[in-house]
Amino acid sequence: MDMLEEIFSVQEALNDHTFAKNDIRDREGKTLKIETVRRAAMAGESGPNDLPNIWLRNYLRALREEADELENDLLWKWWSKDRLDMQNIRVEIVDLLHFLVSLAQCAGLTAADFHRLYMMKNELNRQRQDSGYSRETKDESDNKGIV
């Protein structure tokens, strides 16, 4: 198992544990599992009250909160004598990854899918930089080719 696959695996286990510990149930009354949300996403369940939307929203909110915690650890007073707490900053970044992986899983992505899409988007971003990407040239249609 590679490192990204391991991260996806242990995050799924943590999410499933959290669902069980907090008695979070699916529509059939069974303890919710990330696999249930992933299957719903892959089946095209995409309405506002469907599991993928509900859990994508929950994990996005958590991701935003973690980003806020990270931002609060950063220094903005240029006159200050404060110092960064790099240990805590690193932990906050890992917290962001926890919720990013959860988002990916709820969207139906595996570690392999995530890696493949990342590599494709990275190449597109490189092409955008090489072609003078700007607000005037921005065209999100090139994202449609990333599948």
25 with 71, same domain? Answer: yes
91 with 19, same domain? Answer: yes
- Residue where the block lists tokens 């996806």: 8
pTM of the entire predicted model: 0.91
Digit-coded pLDDT (tens) for 62-119: 999 999 999 999 999 999 999 999 999 999 999 999 999 999 999 999 999 999 999 9
**Which domain does 138 fall in, by range?**
111-147
Please say whether the dihedral angle defined by the alpha carbons of residues 94, 96, 101 and 105, taken in this order, is positive or negative. positive
66 with 36, same domain? Answer: yes
Digit-coded pLDDT (tens) for 11-23: 999 999 999 999 9
83 with 93, same domain? Answer: yes
Number of domains in the chain: 2
Q: Are 56 and 107 in contact (CB under 8 A)?
A: yes
Digit-coded pLDDT (tens) for 4-50: 999 999 999 999 999 999 999 999 999 999 999 999 999 999 999 99
